[in-house]
Amino acid sequence: MESSKYDEGLKKLLEMEGEAGSAVIEKMKLISPDFTRYLLEFVFGEIYARPGLDIKTKEAVTIAGMVTLGAPLQLKVHVKAALNLGFTEQEIVEMMLQLAPIVGFVRAMDGLMAAQQVFDEKTKRELGADQGQK
C-alpha cells in the first residue's frame, strides 16, 4: 500500500520531470521497489515538497549539486527537469559558468557537455515533431 507521501512525491516528480519522470520510476520499480518508494516518499514527498524555496530554485540547487558531484546521468535528468520547469538553455549554461570557479573548470565543462546533450536531444525531438506535423 502506498502512503500519502508516496503519492505526494509522485505528484512532485511529475510536476518537475513530466512523463520522463514517470518512465524512470517504472524502470526503478523493476530494479528495486524499496528504493523507488524511498525516493518518492523522502526525496520528492518530503524534501522537494518543503516550503521555503520555489521549485525552480530547488532545481538550480540540485543541478549545482550534480555538477559538484560529477554525476552526469542525474545531471541530465535534472537539466531536462529544469527545461520542463521553464529554465532556458542559456540560464542552464550560466549555472555552469557560475560553478566553474567553485567546483573547477573540469566539472563545469563536464556539466556543460551533459547539458548540451540534453539540448541536442530536445532539438531533435522538436524537429521530429515539426516534421511529423507537415
pLDDT tens digits for range 9-60: 999 999 988 888 888 899 999 999 999 999 999 999 999 999 999 999 999 9
Q: What is the DSSP letter of 70?
A: T
Cα separation, 12 vs 42, in Å, equals 11
Dihedral of alpha carbons 101, 95, 39, 24, sign: negative
Q: Which fold is adopted by the domain 54-134?
A: AhpD-like (1.20.1290)
The model's pTM is 0.86
Is 62 within 8 Å of 91 (Cβ atoms)?
A: no
- What pLDDT is attached to residue 133? 58
Dihedral of alpha carbons 10, 49, 108, 85, sign: positive
Burial class of residue 82, CB neighbours in 10 A (0-12, 13-18, 19+): buried
Considering the chain, what is the average pLDDT of its residues?
A: 92
Q: What angle do CA 82, 117, 79 make, to 5 degrees?
A: 10
Query: 2 pLDDT band (50/70/90 cuts)?
Result: low
- What pLDDT is attached to residue 84? 93
pLDDT beyond 90 at 131? no
